[in-house]
Amino acid sequence: MKIRGGYSKKILEIDLSSKTTRIRKLSDRFILKYIGGRGFGAKLVWDNLRPDLDPLSPDNVVVIAPGPLTGVFLPASGKTSFVSISPATGIYADSNVGGMFGVELRQAGYDAMLIRGRADKLSYIWIDNGQVEIVANDDLKGKGYLEAEGIIRHEIGDEMVKVAGIGPAGENLVRFACINADWGRNAGRTGMGTIFGSKNLKAIAVRGASDLPVHDVGLLRELSNKAFDSLKKNPYFEFWQRQGLMSVVDYLNEAGVLPTYNFRDGRFDRADSINGYEMEEKYKIGDTACFGCPMACGNINLVKEGEYAGTVVEGPEYETACMFGSNLGVDNFAFILKANAVCDDLGIDTISAGNLIGVLIEGCESGILKPGDVDGMTLRWGDEESILALVNKIGRREGVGDVLADGAKRVLEKWPALKPITSQVKGLEQSAYDGRATISMALAYATSDIGAHHARAWTVGKELEMGADWGIEEKAALVIYHQQTRPVFDMLGVCRLPWIELGFSELHYPEFYRAVTGVSMTIEEMFERSDALYNLTRLINVDRGVTHKDDYPPDRCFDLPIKTGPQAGKVVDRDEYERILDLYYKKRGWDENGVPPESVREQFNDKLDE
């Protein structure tokens, strides 16, 4: 198969310690095997990995990879993956961001970049098409992300430059620091911002002027027009534009799986004060969209009056509204906006922060923690002042914030008694969907290669819809189907939300890929690539100590029945979970410890340029 478009076939490598750069050529064989985005990232991490690697050491690499469809005329085609070994979990990690950053990187002439080493002073990388400069700038120290982005743009003298970078939390090595881009977009999970901080890297700024190589522009235009039409004709389209992911609050609350009071309940009696209608009525002033996206799910909100007046933020999306709302007993949307803005400026993941603050409040309420453990604070559900104080303490590593800043894994090492009330898998704090009513979601969290994150497989809706009609065979297959489909979007550099929310078929993507690259690949062949990617990341994790014992959902999933609402009394049955996990391993072709066969390992010995 000949590749006729879609790739520059170049990766930019930067060593911050030696201040050197080099361009590495990609072979067609490498491209066709790993496709791009998260696929390129996982392979490059694997190639650069030692089993004893400390994620915060200069030897760790971070790969920044858009995909072959990023920035071409298609709906929702602005995604870029950040891939590394997580400082929070110690295992494979990635997180992606929308906006325009990856588009600009591709226009600068690169399919991906890889960064290793550590700058001797706080610096940013400035990529101006073919020119690459490492710019030390001490004035960026301690600056919130938004201010830092402004300083960098001003110094470069180009308002159109695209920037991705970190706030003080990344500099302070908060292990769940995120990477912000384009004002309010975040690669939120797994501590990719911490990796930047460990490298003394405040940001990357990029400007590109090249046209992206497209094989068949006429075909792409035809397919794109049809795709835009089909999205706009979806009956849900207009509502989605109004609320974006905030529409999910009501759906989950009515279904009884909205995390409430640190994942104790699945229903919040004041959900109508933190939902999409509340946002629309009182706070929303505009929309933003990633490149090429008619869905425009970024809600821009302004608090016009009261204690938080003047707060303006792109967000929240559902996860933030839940983790700083129902999960902490908060019913004030203005406060959620304030917490969102503070997290964005500090550069911390709202899911991990909201999750851990919930654990702390319950830990104090239940007497596991004493006032002396939490800087003498009195922590209560819905207490906005102390929640905001904790966010700031985390970002600046002050007092108890210094403990939380190390993430769930290390919090449990310090306070093992918190384990039954901490919702995490492999050290990653669980995101905002209750897994107790749907065993497939519990399995999805437990077998996710980055820990308890919903974006690997989100099966709640389908399992609730199928109810008693489905056995564990179908449920295990559903998890694998999601784990096959979602990497395809990340490898191609597009957003999965048209597929999830507006019924857009995954079968369109091989057609788009053919138009852009000239390569015919069926969806089954794409799924073979994503299965291989799942094997690759599993091997990385196995080499870093992950075994069968790590493939379990949080204790709370088994031990604490949902209290109220339509799922009241639901909990995952342990014996059934053992059966579904065994089945999952068999379907994946892994042994009873969850280890892929040795022959699989050999598939990844290839070099990128051979």
For binding to ligand SF4 (CB under 6 A), which residues are involved?
76, 78, 98, 289-290, 293, 295-298, 495, 497
Under a CB-based contact definition with an 8 Å cutoff, are residues 203 and 163 in contact?
yes
Structure tokens of 389? 């104080």
Determine which helix (DSSP H) or strand (DSSP E) holds 40, and give its type and residue range. Answer: helix 38-47
The SS3 assignment for 565 reads coil
Minimum distance from CB of 298 to ligand SF4 (Å)? Answer: 6
Minimum distance from CB of 13 to ligand SF4 (Å)? Answer: 28
| Whole-number Cα distances in Å, 18 to 114, 118, 369 | 14, 9, 46
Number of H helices, E strands in the chain: 25, 17
Nearer to ligand SF4, 349 or 551 (CB): 349
Minimum distance from CB of 99 to ligand SF4 (Å)? Answer: 8
Minimum distance from CB of 309 to ligand SF4 (Å)? Answer: 27
Minimum distance from CB of 41 to ligand SF4 (Å)? Answer: 19
Minimum distance from CB of 266 to ligand SF4 (Å)? Answer: 26
Handedness of CA 395, 398, 401, 402 (dihedral sign): positive
Minimum distance from CB of 66 to ligand SF4 (Å)? Answer: 13
Nearer to ligand SF4, 412 or 500 (CB): 500
Under a CB-based contact definition with an 8 Å cutoff, are residues 213 and 8 in contact?
yes
Residues 297 and 304: their CA atoms lie apart, in Å, by 21
Under a CB-based contact definition with an 8 Å cutoff, are residues 94 and 41 in contact?
yes
- On the 0-12 / 13-18 / 19+ scale of CB atoms within 10 A, 246 is buried
Nearer to ligand SF4, 297 or 557 (CB): 297
Nearer to ligand SF4, 289 or 455 (CB): 289
The SS3 assignment for 310 reads coil
Under a CB-based contact definition with an 8 Å cutoff, are residues 490 and 79 in contact?
yes
Minimum distance from CB of 75 to ligand SF4 (Å)? Answer: 8
Minimum distance from CB of 500 to ligand SF4 (Å)? Answer: 9
Residue 233 DSSP one-character state? H
| Whole-number Cα distances in Å, 110 to 28, 64, 566 | 15, 10, 50
Under a CB-based contact definition with an 8 Å cutoff, are residues 351 and 319 in contact?
yes
Residues 358 and 429: their CA atoms lie apart, in Å, by 11
Nearer to ligand SF4, 106 or 202 (CB): 106
Nearer to ligand SF4, 261 or 318 (CB): 318
Minimum distance from CB of 276 to ligand SF4 (Å)? Answer: 14
Nearer to ligand SF4, 78 or 363 (CB): 78
Nearer to ligand SF4, 76 or 351 (CB): 76
Structure tokens of 110? 């690169």
The SS3 assignment for 367 reads coil
Structure tokens of 72? 């071409």
Minimum distance from CB of 78 to ligand SF4 (Å)? Answer: 6
Residues 486 and 81: their CA atoms lie apart, in Å, by 13
Q: What is the 3-state secondary structure (H, E, C) of 236-299?
A: CHHHHHHHHHHHHHHHHHHHCCCCECCCCECCCCCHHHCCHHHHHHHCEEEEECCCCCCCCCEE
Which residues, 6+ apart, have CB-to-CB distance to 154 below 8 Å? none
Nearer to ligand SF4, 184 or 510 (CB): 184
Give the HSE-up count for residue 117: Cα atoms under 13 Å, Cβ half-sphere. 17
Under a CB-based contact definition with an 8 Å cutoff, are residues 175 and 87 in contact?
yes
Residues 533 and 44: their CA atoms lie apart, in Å, by 12
Nearer to ligand SF4, 132 or 164 (CB): 164
In one-letter notation, the amino acid at residue 524 is: E
In one-letter notation, the amino acid at residue 563 is: K
Nearer to ligand SF4, 52 or 238 (CB): 238
Minimum distance from CB of 206 to ligand SF4 (Å)? Answer: 19
Nearer to ligand SF4, 75 or 451 (CB): 75
Nearer to ligand SF4, 56 or 187 (CB): 187
Residue 516 DSSP one-character state? H
Minimum distance from CB of 288 to ligand SF4 (Å)? Answer: 7
Nearer to ligand SF4, 77 or 567 (CB): 77
Minimum distance from CB of 251 to ligand SF4 (Å)? Answer: 17
R_g over Cα of the chain: 23
Angle between helix axes 439-447 and 574-588 (nearest 10 degrees) is 50
